[in-house]
């Protein structure tokens, strides 16, 4: 299954699927959560997640902690730095609001992240969601 997920941190994504971490999240929360894997641009803005996004990010951090622990115990060699610093929740609220029908103008005004970065993340998110949909079938 993990070989089909090719956009980084595959082990964490596979764990999210295998441990049914998505079952208590709606599709908007899942989309926002997956954006953490995709947004990788430097930003100076602090992130304060409100409910229900804080719940989704907490789930992600718990899964990441478990995967990291297993990697360390088994001395598994990976070519990806699996750490919380590589997950950026900066666009979670943007993606969540987009899924809730906010206009692109309103979304862009709610953040200092450039429009091109938002669009690029949304396109990559669509690809990842398609891959994950195939994997779970």
- For the chain, domains (ranges, CATH) are 7-136 (1.10.3380.30)
Are the CB atoms for 128 and 6 separated by under 8 Å? no
| Closest C-alpha among 19, 14, 12 to residue 4 | 14
Looking at per-residue pLDDT, the higher value among 85 and 95 belongs to 95
Task: Tell if the pTM clears 0.85, that is, is over it.
Answer: no
Q: In this model, does residue 130 exceed pLDDT 80?
A: yes
Going 58 to 61 to 66 to 69, the CA torsion angle's sign is negative
Tokens of 42: 């430097």
How large is the average pLDDT for residues 61-75?
83
d(CA 91, CA 125): 11
Overall average pLDDT of the 9-37 stretch: 86
Spatial CA neighbour of 10 closest among 74, 86, 75: 86
Residue 58's H or E segment, with its range, is helix 53-74
Identify the pLDDT of residue 2.
47
Lowest mean pLDDT among 3-12, 52-61, 112-121: 3-12
For residues 124-130, average pLDDT: 89
What are the residues whose beta carbons fall under 8 Å from the beta carbon of 23, sequence distance 6 or more? none
Going by C-alpha positions, the residue among 90, 97, 104 that lies closest to residue 35 is 90
The CA radius of gyration of the chain, in Å to the nearest whole number, is 15
């Amino acid at each position: 299954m993990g070989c089909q997920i090719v956009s980084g941190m595959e082990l964490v994504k596979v764990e999210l699927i295998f441990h049914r971490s998505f079952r208590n999240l709606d599709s908007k929360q899942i989309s926002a959560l997956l954006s953490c894997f995709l947004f990788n641009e430097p930003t100076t803005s602090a992130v304060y997640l409100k409910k229900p996004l804080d719940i989704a990010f907490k789930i992600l951090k718990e899964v990441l902690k478990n995967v990291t622990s297993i990697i360390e115990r088994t001395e598994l060699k990976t070519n990806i730095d699996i750490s919380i610093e590589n997950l950026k929740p900066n666009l979670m609220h943007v993606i969540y609001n987009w899924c809730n029908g906010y206009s692109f103008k309103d979304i862009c005004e709610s953040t200092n992240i450039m429009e091109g970065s938002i669009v690029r993340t949304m396109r990559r998110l669509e690809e990842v969601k398609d891959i994950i949909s195939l994997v779970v079938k």
